[in-house]
Amino acid sequence: MDQLLQQIASYRQEIESLTPNGADSLEAYRIKFLGSKGIVKNLFAEMKNVPADKKKAFGQVLNEFKQLAESKYETWKQQLDSGGGKAASSIDVTLPGDPLPLGTRHPVNLFLDHMISIFQRLGFSVAEGPEIEDDWHNFTALNLPEHHPARDMQDTFYIQQNPDWLLRTHTSNIQIRVMETGQLPIRIVCPGRVYRNETVSARSHCFFHQLEGVYIDEHVSFADLKQTLYFFVQEMYGKEVKVRFRPSYFPFTEPSAEMDISCQLCGGEGCAVCKRTGWLEILGCGMVHPKVLENCKIDPNKYTGFAFGMGIERPAMLKYGIDDIRLFSENDVRFLRQFTRAV
């Protein structure tokens, strides 16, 4: 019995020295002292070995030890529960949660989608085609002479020669492929990436994006072209924008013109961007050359059409105030995070 009393005294000292620091340590204490195979249970099992005349005294000591173990457990449990309650009550559940970061669309895609939506309101549909193209669809069918500078390897990325395969230099190849189907009338816009063998700088790049369009039907005139483009620039840049057409030359259109708008940065007053002229060129256009129609087996005596084409990056630079075209292709998230909408 003396040995049991010494054990109980040792266990009392252990309990007095314990300070559980969490739910896990409190549960470990309960299992050790108050569990079904715990110390208290085992001590009560030793009652059968205590002499009869000492059972009463030993029982009192054992009950006091049990009460101590239970009271300590309840006290620590209440302290732990009240501490957790305070922590929970300190959280204001009515506050807004942390925002989840969402990705943004690329500014070129945003600007391009806005341009396409304008032409779709005029009845244009979207057509797409291959970026790796043959000579016929990229040059010959568009009435580009054999020795035209655009065919030079210094301006075009050739994949192979004889036969010639290359990275398309414009999206006009899509127009040719659609025209070859013979399904008239045709009213399409052709967006996509194009490639030119140019020096990469703040103003130019070896790849960029274009949006070209073509409308072929009976009795299509230059007046239809002008009204289409007037509507486009007013929707894109505002009703107050000024527009002018200048005569130009393109092998695939006749007559041909370039379209200028009043500079959006200086309001037409003249600045470094517009070279003090107050005007900025945004696109080339014209009536589809009869030779191009013949190449696609369309009767030029019955059908006429107009075509136009423009880059995406430079108008986007003007609209968003970007001064370096290389930013579009560097994938800098600090730059891309600034764009969440098209206008």
Contact call for residues 233 and 241 (beta carbons, < 8 A): yes
Residue 8: inside a domain = yes
* Same-domain pairing of 84 and 116: no
Q: Looking at the structure, do residues 45 and 151 belong to the same domain, yes or no?
A: no
Same domain? For 85 and 111 the reply is: no
| 35 and 142 co-located in one domain | no
Question: Would residue 97 count as lying in a domain?
Answer: no
Number of domains forming the structure of the chain: 2
Give yes or no: residues 157 and 188 share one domain. yes
CA dist., res. 185 & res. 135, Å (int):
26
Q: Are residues 201 and 147 in the same domain?
A: yes
Rg of the chain in Å (alpha carbons): 41
Q: 258, 157, 156, 171: which is closest to 209 by C-alpha? A: 171
Q: What is the pLDDT of residue 200?
A: 87
Tell me: do 218 and 304 sit in the same domain.
yes
Tell me the C-alpha distance between 273 and 268, whole Å: 11
| Number of CB atoms found within 10 A of residue 275's CB | 11
Please check whether residue 237 is in contact with residue 267, taking contact to mean a CB–CB distance below 8 angstroms. Answer: no
Global pTM exceeds 0.75: no
pLDDT at 83: 63
Give the burial string for 54-91 (b: 16+ CB within 10 Å, else e): eeeebeebbeebbebbeebbeebbeebeeeeeeeeeee
- Compute φ and ψ for 214, nearest 5 degrees: -145, 140
For residues 191 and 205, is the Cβ–Cβ distance under 8 A?
no
Residue 164, SS3 per DSSP: coil
Q: What is the CATH number of the domain that holds 193?
A: 3.30.930.10
- 154 contacts: CB under 8 Å, gap ≥ 6: 197
Residue 342 lies in a domain: no
Which pair of tokens denotes residue 158?
A: 């050739």
Last residue of a domain, one of 89, 119, 136: 89
Q: What is the DSSP string of 112-129?
A: HHHHHHHHHTTT-EE---
Please check whether residue 341 lies inside any domain of the structure. Answer: no
33 and 112 fall within a common domain: no
| Chain-centroid distance, C-alpha 82 | 47
Quote the domain boundaries for residue 23. Answer: 2-89
Residue 35 lies in a domain: yes
In a domain, 263, yes or no: yes
| Shared domain check, 159 and 29 | no
Provide the 8-state DSSP code for 144: -
Task: Please tell me whether residues 81 and 139 are part of one structural domain.
Answer: no
Please list the rounded mean pLDDT of every run of 10 residues in the chain (343 residues): 79 82 83 85 82 81 86 85 56 80 83 94 96 93 82 80 90 96 94 91 88 96 95 90 92 94 79 80 94 95 96 84 87 83 47
190 and 326 in a common domain: yes
* Phi, psi dihedrals of residue 86, rounded to the nearest 5°: -65, -40
Residue ending a domain, among 58, 89, 120, is 89
Closest CA to 243 of 234, 252, 256: 234
| Amino acid code (one letter) for 280 | L
Is 253 inside any structural domain? yes
Would you say residue 327 lies in a domain?
yes
Domain co-membership, 191 together with 262: yes
Q: Quote the tokens at residue 166.
A: 């290359």
Helix (H) or strand (E) holding 187: strand 186-195
- The pLDDT score that the predictor gives to residue 87 is 45
